Amino acid sequence: MRFPTAILLLSVCPLPAELRDVVKSAEIDKIFAQTSNSADVLAKTNYAVQFRVISAGEAARTAVPDAGEFWFVRRGSADISLSGRRHQVNAGDVVNVPRGTEYRIRPTAGRFEFVAVRVFPAARRMRIGIGAAPEPLPMPDVSSKAAIDATLATAAKNVTLHSAGAVLINHVIYNAAHGPWEVHQTCDDLYFVRLGSAHAKLDGTLIGGKEDPLGEIRGSGVTGARDFTIAPGDMVVVPRNTAHFMDPGSARLGYLLVKICD
């Protein structure tokens, strides 16, 4: 089933609040600590995010036919079967679960916690923006923490992890240089920060914004933005048409970017 268009965050209080901007690692841990099964933390018409917990025993189900999923493992380890293909999955790994895939999860010790990004569109209607090439490049069933960390630590530029349908997942790397001041008109972004820290600006108005390429607006600065510091374990939510900017200063910043376009 699809979720309502409202954006919800289950925080330390029972009342919902808006999930936006930077969600700090400690806050994510608090939500997981209060979750015994599944918490719906973000819901939009094109994608949703759930924090899921498998405590013990075995969980088996068939993925919802109208959504593909990507699991970002937060804590614990598990034996996972995807349409009969078995994998040992650990904290820091990323799992690709195409729509309709039958899966089975068996934690190997204690709680198994993961962030599930659920994507509803099967294809990108408007083939514009970053990652819009028609040739699909799907990721394998599992991308390991070791492989992701090695890419973020050593690559000289961004490296694609997954590009298919409505989703692009990139290893994004800023090596002692800031990123662009930009706005995406047709895509929503989620960041999973893995390496380093940075000063982030979100929202506001771009200075001298120009569309180049189609669907992507770049500027020379931003006014009226909200300021944050991002660090490993944090999540960043950047809705389409939202200005954003990342600056790690003289250090190296690495994160997994999930870009959902429709």
pLDDT in tens, 73-92: 999 999 999 999 999 999 99
Q: Let me know if residue 199 belongs to a domain.
A: yes
Q: How confident is the model at residue 21 (pLDDT cuts 50, 70, 90)?
A: very high
Q: Let me know if residue 249 belongs to a domain.
A: yes
Q: Let me know if residue 84 belongs to a domain.
A: yes
pLDDT in tens, 227-252: 999 999 999 999 999 999 999 999 99
Q: How confident is the model at residue 129 (pLDDT cuts 50, 70, 90)?
A: low
What is the predicted pLDDT for the residue at 128? 66
Taking alpha carbons only, the member of 214, 51, 211, 48 closest to residue 128 is 214
What b/e readout covers 216-253, taking b as 16+ CB neighbours within 10 angstroms? bbebeebeebeebebeebbbbbbbbebbbbbebeeebb
- Looking up tokens 């960390």, which residue turns up? 149
What range does the domain containing 177 cover?
A: 142-261
Q: How many domains does the chain have?
A: 2
pLDDT above 90: percentage of residues in the chain = 78
pLDDT in tens, 157-192: 999 999 999 999 999 999 999 999 999 999 999 999
Q: Let me know if residue 1 belongs to a domain.
A: no
CATH of the domain at 100: 2.60.120.10
Q: Let me know if residue 129 belongs to a domain.
A: no
pLDDT in tens, 200-237: 999 999 999 999 888 899 999 999 999 999 999 999 99
110 shares its domain with 155: no
Cα–Cα dist 29/120, whole Å: 26
167 shares its domain with 90: no
User: What is the overall mean pLDDT for the chain?
Assistant: 89
165 shares its domain with 217: yes
Query: Residue 5 pLDDT > 50, yes or no?
Result: no
Q: How confident is the model at residue 18 (pLDDT cuts 50, 70, 90)?
A: low
Taking alpha carbons only, the member of 168, 184, 65 closest to residue 123 is 168
